[in-house]
Amino acid sequence: MNVLFLTTGRMESIEQRAIYPDLLRCFRDHGHKIYTVSSYEKRSGKATELVQEKGASMLHVQIGNLTKTNIIEKGISTILIERQYKKAIKKHLSDIHFDLVMYSTPPITLVKVIDYVRKRDDVKTYLLLKDIFPQNAVDIGMMSKSGLKGLLYKFFRRKEKKLYAESDYIGCMSQANVDYMLQHNPEIKPDIVEVCPNSVEVVDMRIRRDVRNEMRRKYGIPLDKTVFVYGGNLGKPQGIPFLIKCLKSQMKNQDAYFLIVGDGTEFGKLELFFSEQKPENMKLMKRLPKEDYDRMAAACDVGMIFLDHRFTIPNFPSRLLSYMQAGIPILAVTDPNTDIGKVIVDGGFGWWCESNDVLSFDEKIWEACKTDLVDMGAKGFRYLEEHYSAEKGYEIIMEHFV
């Protein structure tokens, strides 16, 4: 088959280690021809180009700036994406007949592109649902269903509905996502919605004890404490004010050490907390290159996931997978609507508590400090192999083409 993957993000190479390149390599290795359309933001200075790479044709489209810019430029850039993508596809991929088009949320702004390719080639479409927007923005106060912001909500909600209507199949990250989709979008036929979870090429990132100690010395992390690491985005979805409350409650814990690594719109709040409180059993670091971060995470004992308690949509962060590859247990601190905590607890590779209960968080930290973490982390790695491999994701999608 000729497979087209659409994303407004930047995909430099199909050899990258991330959920989408990992899945696309599975398609390639099974004999399918891969075509991707991704973006070059204007600030990169790179023009639209088609690049050939190891069984994949990668079309990079120059668009406006979407990140690290003001809301006006971001809004204009978002509106123009569909036109820019259609123009690039017509110019560079007009002679390719596609059999499958895959795309993910976020964003929901590629509806016209999908509609164009679908009608042109009579192609099957598969949505990899990773985000439920605009409801997620409403949940954390970035958008409203009423007033002036309500007009914006209604505009994006119509886009969301059109995206679902364009999709022959919708793959959700978990059962809670399937249930939410069908409950809030009754026009969708239940038989097109299925669980197709975040998946990766399974790589054993576990490290020997001597390497672990070496990594800890490199980053100034104690050798004799249980180290809890959070790595990734530090923005509104992560509920940073509650994370700070949790850190405050642990400042006198002599058995635990907390490592926060990342970047995002709320990083400054954490920076201020560390500057004012100067906690001795904690460290805050800016985002590291992926390879460096993966090795450092493997040198820690427990990986943490945080989600804002206001979420009504069932988020399922892909950060889970990197902790599982590192062979470390996971503490999920989330709203009650996501089922990520249930998966972790039922799988026997971690703990869960609500992200509005500091005392419960403290109890889980105490439990973790008294647990055989190596055995628990091994259970997580086995669960990854069984449920979240890219090969598994490939098989779920391809069942519709057998």
- Tell whether 398 is covered by a domain: no
- Spatial neighbors of 177 by CB under 8 A, at least 6 apart, are 129, 132, 195, 314, 316
Do 162 and 235 have their domain in common?
A: no
Question: What is the CB neighbour count within 10 angstroms for residue 76?
Answer: 12
- Spatial neighbors of 335 by CB under 8 A, at least 6 apart, are 307, 308, 309, 310, 311, 312, 315, 354, 355
Do 148 and 230 have their domain in common?
A: no
pLDDT band at 174; cut points 50, 70, 90: very high
Do 43 and 161 have their domain in common?
A: yes
Do 190 and 215 have their domain in common?
A: no
Do 59 and 187 have their domain in common?
A: yes
Do 88 and 214 have their domain in common?
A: no
pLDDT band at 79; cut points 50, 70, 90: confident
pLDDT at residue 72 in the model: 79
Do 176 and 298 have their domain in common?
A: no
Do 161 and 291 have their domain in common?
A: no
Examine the fold and report which residue of 169, 196, 223 is the final residue of a domain before the chain moves on: 196
- Tell whether 400 is covered by a domain: no
Above 90 in pLDDT, residue 265? Answer: no
Q: What is the pTM of this model?
A: 0.92
Distance CA 132, CA 106 (A): 8
Examine the fold and report which residue of 134, 164, 196 is the final residue of a domain before the chain moves on: 196
Please state the domain count of the chain.
2
For residues 295-316, give the mean pLDDT: 95
- Tell whether 293 is covered by a domain: yes
Above 80 in pLDDT, residue 107? Answer: no
Q: Domain containing 238: what range? A: 209-387
Q: 141: domain CATH number?
A: 3.40.50.2000
Question: What is the CB neighbour count within 10 angstroms for residue 358?
Answer: 16
Do 226 and 165 have their domain in common?
A: no
- Tell whether 318 is covered by a domain: yes
- Tell whether 396 is covered by a domain: no
